[in-house]
Amino acid sequence: MPRPREQPVEAEPLWREQVGEALRRTRQESGLRLVDVAGRAGVAPQYLSELERGMKDPSSELLAAVAGALGLRVTDVATRAIRTAARPSGPLCLAA
């Protein structure tokens, strides 16, 4: 009897990508520019852009500075990142 074909497992987003998306969404929803948040956090706008795009993994100190510049705590950013990860990204079928 042939073995059933295994479904390919979709790659899970990296934590830094989820955090970056949460930071970007929060900044945009607040109507803030990248340079404004970067200035408040004491980082270069280029670095903040890389964080938001999930290209850099921030230290806890840097994450706290960026979160504070957005009026958030690190736990708030983590919660938003988890909610982003929990959203289905593809078709969803609900059975009754």
- Taken in order of first residue, the domains within the chain and their CATH numbers are 15-86 (1.10.260.40)
Here the tokens at position 74 are 């690190």
The answer, yes or no, to whether residue 95 has pLDDT greater than 90, is: no
The angle formed by the CA atoms of residues 72, 73 and 79, to the nearest 5 degrees, is 95
Short-list 43, 66, 53, CA closest to 18 = 53
Q: What is the pLDDT of residue 84?
A: 74
- What are residue 33's phi and psi, to 5 degrees? -85, 155
pLDDT tens-digit profile of 34-58? 999 999 999 999 999 999 999 999 9
- 1 pLDDT higher than 80: no
pLDDT of residue 42: 98
* pLDDT score for 23: 97
CB-based contacts of 52, cutoff 8 Å, min separation 6 = 20, 21, 23, 24, 27, 34
